[in-house]
Structure 1
Amino acid sequence: MLPVTERDIRASFVNASRKEVSDLTLPAGFADLDWDRLDYLGWSDPKFPRRAYAVVELDGRLVGMLLQQAEQRTSARAQCSWCEDVMLTNDVQFFAARKAGPAGRKGDTVGTLVCANFGCSAVVRKLPPLAYEGFDREAARDERIRRLGEHVRAFARALGA
């Protein structure tokens, strides 16, 4: 992901009101993020329980998404829809997002299961275990990185971005 500024992030939201955007708190350590190791930027807002944000590059522009965390955790061991990791050591949480534009104003939403700490970019960069003799672990990692980007961008498109 290319480095972005606070101003870029605030201007990117497609499904948030001006008030919601002005109230958002940037993630801790924002100034020190390693942008080369991020496929999207995601974080929970410490001031607003259950509110989270994700920002991704889509078709040459930045798209910010306001997410609402479900009140209850999933009872079964869920798989993140974005990184698709089956060996996760962290929780997966259901997030819903209001659609952009008229659809969102009338209450339409989309939802997804995502790593609760938005650590997908780190997860997909780990070398997978050796599946069989001759398995190309580097190629498998590159494919996981590519698919993560596809899944986050597909979610942004589903919002109407």
Structure 2
Amino acid sequence: MRPLTEQDIRASFVNCSKGDAKRLTVPRDLTERPWDDLDFLGWRDPGAPDRSYLVLERDGGLAGIALRCPTVRRGSQHRSMCSVCLTTHRGGGVSLMTARKAGPAGREGNSVGVYMCADLACSLYVRGKKVPESGSRFEESLTTEEQIARARGNLAAFVERLYV
């Protein structure tokens, strides 16, 4: 992914108002992000634990998505798998992220959801740059490049559902 600026991020949101995009908390460490290893920029809002955001490249531009996630954590024995990168985590390592749909459907209250790594580090898990604290990645016969393509496809499928 190409490096993003705060202005790029705020202008990219497709499922919240311009005022909401102006007020959201943007990560302060944008210059330190491993952009070459990211398929999307994802972060949790430190001031609002039930809010997360992701920005990805879509159709030659950027699509920013405001997400809601539960703050309740599951027990440490429960294992869940991320629908994007297929990493398994124990406890609250995977959350149901819901997003209001774009356009009129979103203004009517319609939303879509996806089970995703709670820390939104899917890109790093797939590349082996980050290891889940209490979970694992399965041994696969797919190459890393094929796993990256699959994760990108899984995320793209979720994002497409925002527009239908």
TM bucket normalised to smaller: 0.7 to 0.9
Q: Are 1:19 and 2:22 an aligned pair? A: no
State the alpha-carbon separation in 1 of the partners of residues 139 and 119 from structure 2. 26
Matches within 5 A, 1:1-161: 1-74=1-74, 76-86=78-88, 88=89, 91-126=93-128, 140-160=143-163
TM-score (norm 2): 0.84
After superposition, give the CA deviation of every residue in 1:72-110 in whole Å (9 maximum; x if it has no partner): 345642100110123x46711111100000000111000
After superposition, give the CA deviation of every residue in 1:9-41 in whole Å (9 maximum; x if it has no partner): 111100011221111111242221121010111
TM-score (norm 1): 0.86
State the alpha-carbon separation in 2 of the partners of residues 74 and 57 from structure 1. 32
Runs ≥4 in structure 1, deviation > 4 angstroms? 127-131
Contact 1:70 1:96 in 2 (8 A): no
5+ residue gaps, structure 1: none
Contact 2:4 2:30 in 1 (8 A): no
State the alpha-carbon separation in 2 of the partners of residues 130 and 84 from structure 1. 11
RMSD: 2.2
Higher relative contact order (CA 8 A, sep 6+): 1
Aligned residues: 154
SS at match of 2:95: strand
5+ residue gaps, structure 2: 130-136
Contact 2:87 2:138 in 1 (8 A): no
Deviation of 1:49 after TM superposition, in Å, equals 2.3
